[in-house]
Amino acid sequence: MKLSVILVNHNSRILLKQAVQSVVEACKSIEHEIIVVDNNSDDNSLEMLANNFEGITVIANEANLGITHAQNQGIQQAAGEYILLLDADTMTIKDSVEKMISFMDEHVNAGGMTVRMLSPQGRFMPESIHGLTSTWGAFLKLIGFAKHLSKTRLYDRNRKDWVEEFQVSEIDIVNGACMLLRKSALNETGLLDERFFAHGASIDLSYRLRLAGFKNYYFPKTYIIKYESLNQEKFSWEYIKYFYGAMFIFAVKYLIRVPEIKVKGIPQLFPPTYEVK
């Protein structure tokens, strides 16, 4: 099978219906499967899927286990050569998937890629290129990690040789809203890190793809529409906990030396970098 498309849903029935329908249309000429992982929605999302779409795979979780865990569930079941992770508030343009797959077929060193993203009003979304919100960009500069992201515009934004909206280019971070991944690359890097409950997993995976020797690409010769309506309220406790918690996890994972804990009953949250003797 050529492609597995994975969407994670939690109480986004109307947008999900539009997202799945657009994927069905975009993948008509591709050998594919569509996997929807539902995180215990209570808005009749499951009924909508059953009534409107035949032949798709639905994984119904009995609790909200997080976006990252749900994506891994889909990946583990996927049979495709490529894995397309899509947010449930996106709309896929008719020929976009074919063009993305053709690009990956031609670039055998590519581990992941994304495309140009537009708002429903047609506004270009700059995070298509760098894969980071301004908050994440500032955080990575603050902790000194930006030096590892040479292809990401985090410092001199006026340089003429940086990626522009319509320029095909290698990038550091693939935007998680539309993330096409080579399954064989995932076999080398491992799955998404589920410690990133709702934020940061795409940044972490993009970096691990590069560490494994693969390249990430931005491909603007097609686009998707992103509705930006699945974001948590930025002043809510849930948003603060998962968004800023992801930054802490990222910093500990890559910048702090962690001892190996061998105390019975105490789990090792982060992989050890040295052993305490």
* Integer Cα distance of 216 and 43 in angstroms: 36
Domain residue extents for the chain: 3-275
* Integer Cα distance of 39 and 275 in angstroms: 38
Structure tokens at 205: 């995976």
**Residue 247: C-alpha distances to residues 89, 138, 251, 253 (Å):** 24, 11, 6, 10
CA nearest neighbour of 71 among 88, 54, 56: 88
Specify the pTM.
Answer: 0.84
In contact, 150 and 161? CB cutoff 8 Å: no
* Integer Cα distance of 93 and 91 in angstroms: 6
In contact, 152 and 108? CB cutoff 8 Å: no
CATH class as words, domain 3-275:
alpha beta
pLDDT of residue 245: 75
CA nearest neighbour of 171 among 189, 185, 152: 152
DSSP string for 35-86: EEEEES-SSSHHHHHHHH-SS-EEEEESS---HHHHHHHHHHH---SEEEEE
In contact, 4 and 33? CB cutoff 8 Å: yes
Q: What is the CA radius of gyration of the chain?
A: 19
pLDDT of residue 105: 98
Q: How many CB atoms lie within 10 A of CB 53?
A: 16
CA nearest neighbour of 21 among 8, 11, 34: 34
Residue pLDDT tens, the chain, 277 long:
999 999 999 999 999 999 999 999 999 999 999 999 999 999 999 999 999 999 999 999 999 989 999 999 999 999 999 999 999 999 999 999 999 999 999 999 999 999 999 999 999 998 888 878 777 777 778 787 877 777 776 655 555 555 678 989 899 999 999 999 999 999 999 999 999 887 889 999 999 999 999 999 999 999 999 997 555 455 565 666 667 677 778 888 887 654 444 545 444 444 554 343 4
